Structures are given as structure tokens and as C-alpha cells.
Amino acid sequence: MEGSTLLYAFLILVVARLFIKWYSDPLRRIPVVGGTSFPLLSYLAALKFIRRPNDVLLEGHAKYHGSAFRVGMLDRWLVVVSGLDGVEDLRRRPENELTLSVASNQLLQRERILGSEILQTHWHAEVLKTTFTQSIPTILPDLIDELPSAVLRNLPTATDGWQSVEVKPAVLGILAQLNSRVFVGLPLCRNQDYLKLAIDFTVNTMKDAQTMKLTPQLFRPLVARFLTETRTALFKGRTYIEPLVRARREKINQFGNDWPDKPHDLLQLYMEYAADKNATDEMVAQRAFHTNFAAIFTATDNMTNTLCHLASSPEAIGPLRAEAEELIASYGWTKDAIDRMWKAESFLRESARLHTLAPFVITRVAMRDLTLVDGTFVPKGTLVAAAVAPAHRDSNNYPQADVFDPFRFSRQREEKGASATQMFTHTSGKWLAFGHGKHACPGRYYAADELKTLLSYIVVNYDIKVDRPNGGFETGKIMVRKRQSPSKETASSNI
Ligand code: HEM
């Protein structure tokens, strides 16, 4: 047989195999949005979903409202539910039907890149949800104390003119330092090498996951060996923190669980929790560093969008300033003041509503064959999730849902009285910024307080405007200068 005949026969076999696989795929009956499921062409659907996830999800919701559809990812399909019943169905399913750990490993490829310990134990989320959240009143004074230093390092200090600022890197720098103060304390939180490492670790984790998903399964173990930056950053971050753990361990041995200058940061809470869990000091240090990943990324996006919105909504700056100054005059820079900053909270939430932070949440893998509430059959191993933008842009959930209305939630509080549903940290089928259900973001109460404090500090101390007409979101830049109009003395930068 000639070589070319063999080649044709081989190609026909490959095409036939792809066709049979496609035809017999149990997901085939679930409609595809953003492209086609046809072999190879499905990559185009995946690329579209990577570039414009929210547009694809909104399109799916508009076409199939209330029933599931699927969108392409580089290495698999994601079955998406939208609508209140679909979200509620996911939230309620027990772990033996839908599980998070397998899903987050598939999405972030953590086990291959970072090793299995990070994946197998989940105690950090438990600490964040319980003792860390309960400790916010004790932790907040440290965060407030760190604000002037963190902001000064990352925003311009000139009083004599506007300066253009690239918003995202500035916010990354500020939040890395604020979080580090709360996670590992002084002086490490001001060590520039450590902060750079925390930021790089966060950014590289996402990049590596994308590279792995582009790699065929067979070659992933090999490729993972070459993706060393994230692993190295985690290792180096750990080595910065380990000496702190050892020094604190000595104090514990000497004084028991209490001593006069005992730190009250996240590392200390991790150490106390880990004592019952047989976690080694290395594991505790690794956890403390790894928490940066969850804490920096989404919060940075929220604050970046908020500042861009602020630059393009000059009419909102006055009310935000007045609120912050009045409360600080009455309560000082304290949790009591921050809890009452409804306008700041409303602004942050409205920004997160229109500029979705995570396109899908409640991401799970089916542990057995399942039928979803709308009758959609999902076989064992399928990745499923709930879409965020469709819930946040639905005019049944939010009147005039496409309009940026910065004080929509604070107005509701003023008009109807305070209720949990107006809060940034609320979770429901209509408000999914922090996910929903058992694995909803355990750091959200801290995140909301941190972002409200930062936003109020910036409006009290800085003037902000767009860098050019219609700038802000388009350019990712804003103009900033030290505040020109006099501020109330009590609310000035003298924290
Ligand atoms: C605006 C800021 C933040 C947003 C929008 C956000 C959002 C989210 C979302 C959507 C999830 C997944 C929930 C789900 O799919 O149901 C999540 C998980 C998580 N978040 Fe946040 N987050 C923020 C800040 C933080 C901070 C500051 C911390 C730590 C102090 C944190 C720690 C975590 C952890 C550890 C998880 C994983 C929970 C688990 O695996 O059970 N997050 N977050």
C-alpha cells in the first residue's frame, strides 16, 4: 500500500473516531452557547468564552432561561445553570453528588502545579469562616494603621497637580500590603520583595492553570515540571513566614496560649487551629502565603472597577466624602464607623454587580450521574456551575439593571430599613458575587470591611477624575491628586 493511501486511511480513522466520540457524548443534548460542539470547532467556542465570558453567559441565559446550557472551556465543557431554581438546586446538592475540591483542581490544576497537600486539606477556609471573621473588630485597627503607608506607596503624593495612575497595579500593591499586615503582621507586610512575591504568586497561578488546560492530558505531568514559577513563589513565600511561626512556637512553649504582645493576625489563628490538626509549621506557613491567592485577585478587581466608576461618576464623590467624614467625626476610624458606611458599601456592590468579578460560581463536579432540577441529565464527571452576570443583570432582580446606580442599595436601606439582603456580603440566587451556599467566600466579611475602609480613605484624601473623556474603563487609568478642598480635620489622613 502506498504511503499516501495509508495517510488517508489514518485521517479517515481519526475523523471517524472524533465523530463517534462527539455523537455518543452524553452531553450532546445540552445546547452549546458561544459556538458549536463539533470536533475541533469547539475550540472556537472555548476561545470566545475566555475572551468574553459574561457575553456568552448572558446570551445563554437569554436563550435558555431557566434551563441548563453548556459553554466551551479549553479542556472540557462547563454545564451552566441560570435562574433561581437552577442556582438553588446546585446550592442544595450534597458533596457526594456535587463536589468542589475536584472542580477547583480541574480549573486551577493545583495538584499538578502545587502538590496535593494544598488540595486535600481545607482547614484554612474553616478558620477564615470562623475565628478570622469573628476577629475582624480586633484585626481592623491594624489594617487602618497600615492604610497611610500602603496608599502612599502606591498612589501619587503630589499636591500641585494631577497625575495619571494605572489603576490595577496600584490597587494590587495597596491590597497586597494591607492583607499582609492582617495575615502576617509587621514588619514582613512592608517587605517589598515579599509583597512582589505575593502578587506574582497570584498572577502566575492563573497563568499556569491556563497553560495546563491548553496542554493535552497526556503531556500535563511533563509540562507541569516546567511550570516552576508558582511553585517557587509558594516555596519562597513559605520561607519568609516559617521563622515567624518558629518564634511564635517558642513563645507558646514558654507562656502557653497567651502572652503580652501576642499577635492577633491570621497566621496566629492558623497556628492555633493547626495545633489540633497535626499540621506542621511548614504547612501553616504555606497556608498563610497561599491565602493571598484567594484574597488579592477578586478584591483587586472590585477596587479597580470601583475607582474607575468613581472617576467617571464625579457626582458620587461628594456624598461618599460627606458620609465618611461625618462617621469618622463621630466614631473615629473604627469598625463602628465602617459598619455604618452604607454609601461606600452600596458603591462597591453596584460596581461588583455590573462588572462581574468571577463569571461563574458554585463550581462543582458531578460525583455520579445526576438529573438537574430542569430535567437536564449530567453524567458523572461533568463540571457544573452557576452563571453570575445573568443574575446580576436581570431586571426582575434589579430594576433598571443595566444602569450604574451607585447608591441603589443604600437608598433601599434608607427607604425600607436595613436588611441583610442589601449588604455586599449577602449571598442568594440573585446576588452571587461571593458565591452561595456551603462554600461561599469565607473571607467576604473581611473583604467588605477592607474595601469600604480603603474606598473611604481614598475619597477623603484624594481627588479623582477620568484621564480623558470616557476614560476609566477603556484605559484602565485615572487621574489622581492629593485632595484640594479642605477636609474635616477628624477625617484627614491622620489615622
Ligand atoms: C471582593 C473580594 C472577594 C470576592 C468577590 C470573592 C469571591 C469569592 C468567590 C466567588 C468564591 C467562590 C465561592 C463559590 O463559588 O460559591 C470565593 C472563595 C474563596 N474566597 Fe473569596 N472573594 C473575595 C475576597 C476574599 C478574601 C479577602 C479572602 C481571604 C481573606 C477570600 C478567601 C476565599 C477562600 C479561601 C475561598 C475558597 C472557599 C472554599 O474553597 O471553600 N476571599 N471567593
Asked whether the predicted pLDDT for residue 369 surpasses 70, the reply is yes
Instruction: Domains for the chain: give ranges and CATH numbers.
Output: 1-103+359-388 (3.30.43.20)
Q: How confident is the model at residue 116 (pLDDT cuts 50, 70, 90)?
A: low
Q: Is the peptide bond before 187 cis (omega within 30 degrees of 0)?
A: yes
SS (H, E, C) 332-390: CCCHHHHHCCHHHHHHHHHHHHHCCCCCEEEEEEECCCEECCCCCEECCCCEEEEECHH
- Tell whether the torsion through CA atoms of 247, 252, 253 and 254 is positive or negative: positive
Q: pLDDT digit string (tens) for 427-440? A: 999 999 999 999 99
Task: Pick 117 or 392 by higher pLDDT.
Answer: 392
pLDDT surpasses 80 at 491: no
**What value does the mean pLDDT take over residues 331-355?**
97
C-alpha span between 98 and 382 (Å, rounded): 9
Judge whether 336 and 328 are in contact, CB under 8 Å.
Answer: no
pLDDT of residue 120: 64
Please, which residues bridge with residue 163 across strands? 480
CA 314 to centroid of chain Cα atoms: 27
Mutate which of 118, 297, 298, 388 for ligand 1 pocket (most atoms within 8 A of beta carbon): 298
Residue 470 φ/ψ region, left for φ over 0, alpha for ψ in the -120 to 50 degree band, beta for the rest: left
State how far the Cα of 48 lies from the Cα of 440, in Å rounded to an integer: 27
Query: What average pLDDT is seen over the chain?
Result: 91
Residue 469 contacts residue 123 (beta carbons within 8 Å):
no
| Distance of alpha carbon 195 from alpha carbon 380, whole angstroms | 41
Q: What pLDDT is stored for residue 143 in this prediction?
A: 97
The mean per-residue pLDDT over the stretch 248-252 comes to 91
Whether the CB of 440 sits within 6 Å of ligand 1: yes
Q: Are strands 383-387 and 77-81 parallel, antiparallel or unpaired?
A: parallel
In this structure, what DSSP letter does residue 163 have? E
Is the CB of 185 within 6 Å of ligand 1? no
pLDDT tier, 494 (very low <50, low <70, confident <90, very high otherwise): low
- Average of per-residue pLDDT across 160-186: 95
* pLDDT class of 239 with cuts at 50, 70, 90: very high
| Confidence band, pLDDT 50/70/90 cuts, at residue 156 | confident
Q: Please give the distance of CA 137 from its chain centroid, rounded to a whole number.
A: 23
- Looking at residue 246, its pLDDT comes to 94
Residue whose CA lies nearest to ligand 1 atom number 36: 441
If pLDDT is split at 50, 70 and 90, which confidence band does 148 have?
very high
Per-residue pLDDT for 30 more than 80?
yes
Ligand 1 in contact with 128 (CB < 6 A)? yes
Hey, which of 293, 441, 453 would you mutate to test ligand 1's pocket, going by the most ligand atoms within 8 Å of its Cβ? 441
3-class SS of residue 309? helix
pLDDT at 287 > cutoff 80: yes
Listing DSSP states for 217-229 in one string gives GGGHHHHHHH--H
